[in-house]
Amino acid sequence: MRYFTCLLLASGLCAGMLSAADQPKFSPEQQEVIDAHNAAREAALKRDFAAWAPYVAEDCIFSTDDGDIKTKAQLIEHGRNLPFQHDHSENQRDFVVHLYGNTAVLNLRFTTHEQFTDIDIITEMRETETFVKQNGSWLLVARQWGALPINFHKPTAADPHTYKDYIGQFEWRPGLVDTISVKGGKLWSKMAEDESAEENLPLGPETFFVRDDLGTITFVRDAHGQVTGYTYHRVDGQDIHARKVK
């Protein structure tokens, strides 16, 4: 389970402020929303919760990247004495602000770094914040964040001559078929509704992954060694079995 403080603390660091050259054009009111967002993050960076609190509603809903719901008080209590040198974010980008009267929705992307004893974890995140305007100021009422499906698996060595065994069509359900092909010595996968194919990269014996998906597939053979399908292993532990139909 990821730390539920990663948004308030790790992503609260301001290293990723947009530079003037990179910042898209915003209306004055849209910029007010971004300014409120940045001011709250600046206070979080300094662990100045007295300065942070006025930007956040008392009943603000914090929905974490592992599905938990946290309160404003819980985040303050947890973060008050938590060292921040091992958790930080950078490269805030792709700001989008939509205004609906006195309500604003802000969406952005950023990168978090988390330092552990033996590894540094880098995660691409996307966050959505909802603000309401009260007494002339924008107040945060809800925040949700989650990791983007960026794959850090490293391909292993494989024998491309074995790829011919996997060629065919694999049915997930009626109407949803994955076509596996070989081109240029690489294994490709194209789902029925996709515009283009994605490369299947070897991860182990009979197991592959694609760059923009955190799951993996493992091909299944019968007693005669013929490929009869594959199992898609979702990142949450659930498996989907696709049978070879052609």
Q: For the segment 100-158, what is each residue's pLDDT rounded down to a tens digit? A: 999 999 999 998 877 777 777 888 899 999 999 999 999 999 999 988 877 888 999 98
Structure tokens at 244: 């070879």
CATH top-level class for 160-244?
mainly beta
In this structure, the number of other CB atoms found within 10 A of the CB of residue 66 comes to: 12
- The per-residue pLDDT for 122 is 83
Domain with CATH 2.40.128.50 in the chain: 160-244
| Element housing 34 (H / E) | helix 28-45
Q: Which residues of 1-37 are buried (b: 16+ CB within 10 A; e: fewer)?
A: ebbbbbbbbbbbbbebebeeeeeeeeeeebebbbebb
Beta bridge partners of 241: 231
Tally of CB atoms within 10 A around 140: 23
Taking the model in full, what pTM does it have? 0.69
CATH 3.10.450.50 in the chain, residues? Answer: 4-147
pLDDT digits (tens, 9 = 90+) for 2-52: 334 444 444 444 344 444 445 568 999 999 999 999 999 888 878 889 999
pLDDT at 22: 53
Residue type, 156: T
- The overall average pLDDT reported for the chain is 86
Pick the CATH number of 4-147 from 3.10.450.50, 3.40.367.20, 3.40.50.720, 3.30.70.270: 3.10.450.50
Cβ atoms of 147 and 125 closer than 8 Å: yes
